Amino acid sequence: MARRSATQVRHETLAEPPSLAEQADRHALYQQAVNAPGAHIDFIRKVYRGMRKREPRVLKEDFCGTALMAATWAQRSPHNRAIGVDLDAEALAWGQRHNLELRGPALARRVALVHGDVLEDRPHRADIVCALNFSYNLLLARHQLLAYLRGARRSLLPGGLFLLDCIGGTEAVIDFSEERGCQDFTYIWSQQDFNPLDHSARCSISFAFPDGSRIEPAFAYRWRLWTMPELRDCLAEAGFTGVRIFWEYSDEAGEARHVEIDREQNQEIWLAYVVAW
Ligand SMILES: C[S@@+](CC[C@H](N)C(=O)[O-])C[C@H]1O[C@@H](n2cnc3c(N)ncnc32)[C@H](O)[C@@H]1O
């Protein structure tokens, strides 16, 4: 073993231990704070089986990031397959390692991760195509949203369903920040510079730790908050002939329940699933 010099030893003794932020993995924190793939899967299987009287088997996750939804889908059944598409090679590589390979080669073989733009035409076809956590809001121009929806419709197998989530309400169209305590960190969502003329805003996700350190921002992007009527108009224009809206209600224990509706009162913040075909 190499001998350490006196200077090296002194530096090691004086060196500050790494902060919690320095030790953290932003993708792992994001998944813990934001993703709930099991609930999305339970919802869409229930709707698909109700409408089509059979099990959906192939799921395509657009804007997949670390592809936790695709991985969870494949984990549900050895008959399930999934495709994930994202522009971010680093997020995909992280997902390949942590969400696929660590769950075993049999599962990893049933999930294909594609590095690319969701606007590009691809040969993949699926029973369920989804764009969740409001990711289509990253498409800033109407012609992009429309091109994306047309492509999503083309990638449905016969009987296939397209699943989106939508956020709205009086507080979704102003600058706001939200902090939520997670197991050993705080998740901070922020929407700033909301422009009522085009509904664009700067968004970020940050993480704060008990030792005072922060990852700020861990993720940052510009988005456009598409409204439900714009989304429905674009879905129809893209060729979708059916749409069902499922509004999220919370019971006293905070458990979410989704109920199909065709009208509701506006709220400060509301969430809804949109299912189209
Ligand atoms: C907010 S993250 C959502 C990730 C994941 N859907 C989730 O539920 O956590 C948005 C993702 O969309 C990806 N993205 C943005 N524009 C894209 C595009 N045009 N094509 C493919 N991926 C895109 C980003 O790289 C990022 O990983």
Substitution site in 63, 72, 120, 189 for ligand 1 pocket (most atoms within 8 Å of beta carbon): 63
Half-sphere exposure of 135 (CA within 13 A, CB side): 22
Residues 80, 51: contact at Cβ < 8 Å? no
From the CB of 120, is ligand 1 less than 6 Å away? Answer: no
Q: What pLDDT sits at residue 1? A: 42
The residue whose two tokens read 């016969």 is 158
pLDDT digits (tens, 9 = 90+) for 204-230: 999 999 999 999 999 999 999 999 999
Contacts of 241 (CB under 8 A, 6+ apart): 277
Q: What pLDDT sits at residue 46? A: 98
- Cα-to-centroid distance, 268 and ligand 1 (Å): 26
From the CB of 140, is ligand 1 less than 6 Å away? Answer: no
Q: Residue 13: pLDDT band by 50, 70, 90 thresholds?
A: low
From the CB of 47, is ligand 1 less than 6 Å away? Answer: no
Q: What pLDDT sits at residue 235? A: 98
Please give the Cα distance from 173 to 239 (Å, whole number).
28
From the CB of 165, is ligand 1 less than 6 Å away? Answer: no
Q: Which tokens go with 268?
A: 């400060």
From the CB of 91, is ligand 1 less than 6 Å away? Answer: yes
Which residue's CA is minimally distant from atom 27 of ligand 1?
Answer: 65
Q: What is the mean pLDDT of residues 43-49?
A: 98
pLDDT digits (tens, 9 = 90+) for 100-147: 999 999 999 999 999 999 999 999 999 999 999 999 999 999 999 999
pLDDT digits (tens, 9 = 90+) for 235-263: 999 999 999 999 999 988 888 999 999 99
Tell me the pLDDT of the chain averaged across its residues.
95
- Mutual orientation of helices 68-76 and 37-52 as an angle, nearest 10°? 60
Torsion on CA atoms 152, 158, 161, 162, rounded to nearest 10: 0
Beta bridge pairs of residue 77: none
